[in-house]
Amino acid sequence: MTGGIEMAGAGYMRLRQICLVAPRLEPVIGDIAGIMGLNVCYRDGNVAKYGLENALLPVDTILLEVVAPFQPGTAAGRFIEKTGGRGGYMAIFCCDDPDARGTHAREMGVRVANVIDHAPYHGVQLHPRDCRAAFIEFNHTDGSDDILGADRGRDGKPAAAGSCRALGPDHRNCREHGQVRRARAEAAQLQLHLHQRPKRHHEWADV
């Protein structure tokens, strides 16, 4: 920590998803898939209510998502205009208690911009203006605590839909055929563009 407000009793947290934004999905998705040897595993129609379309690609135990606006006046479109092009839009972390993370952020003066509650998925999104760079989201899906996202939880019972199944019906084949393993090194080089980086990374660590 860097002198900020520490979160008492903090549980686990791991990177679940990186979201990039682009003016259009193509040729971005095609280029990423071709360069990194990945396949699109899922397209979420629910993002249409935000004026967006998307595509997700599995990279080992995380997802790489690209969103693009298809109508004017979207938050993603404003982000593109502000940053002068495509780039990192969201960093999404899986944790045991998103609401506690949101409360901790509020105590630091960081607003909660949106709460997503679609059982078994629950997410808390922080305001990008307060985060000074991009959206941060904390979420939890019942039955998805296994870092590999297996269809069964630690107690051996079937996990709720939305954990590993978010990768689509062929997620096991992707791993077995090594498509995501080939991309691990490239994915490790993906970084969110942080304005005034020396200060911003400390603030993100405090959140």
Q: Model-level pTM?
A: 0.68
Domains in the chain, CATH or no CATH each: 13-206 (3.10.180.10)
For the chain, list the strands marked E by DSSP: 13-21, 52-59, 62-69, 87-95, 112-118, 121-126, 135-141
Count Cβ atoms within 10 A of the Cβ of residue 158 and give its class: 0-12 exposed, 13-18 middle, 19 or more buried: exposed
Residue 43 confidence (pLDDT): 95
Is residue 47 within 8 A of residue 89, CB to CB? The reply is no
Strand partners, 62: 59
Which residue has tokens 């006046």? 73
Residue 87 confidence (pLDDT): 77
Which residue has tokens 């903090």? 10
- Residue 169 — φ and ψ, nearest 5°? -65, -20
Residue 175 confidence (pLDDT): 47
Residue 64 confidence (pLDDT): 95
For residue 71, give the DSSP letter.
S
Residue 139 confidence (pLDDT): 93
Length of the chain: 207
Instruction: Annotate 19-44 with b (16+ C-beta within 10 A) or e (fewer).
Output: bbbbeebeebbeebbeebbbebbbee
pLDDT tens for each residue of the chain, 207 residues long: 334 445 555 678 899 899 999 999 999 999 999 999 999 999 999 899 999 999 999 998 889 999 999 999 998 998 888 887 767 889 999 999 999 999 999 999 999 999 999 888 899 999 888 887 778 999 998 876 655 544 333 233 333 333 444 444 444 444 444 444 444 444 444 444 444 444 544 455 666
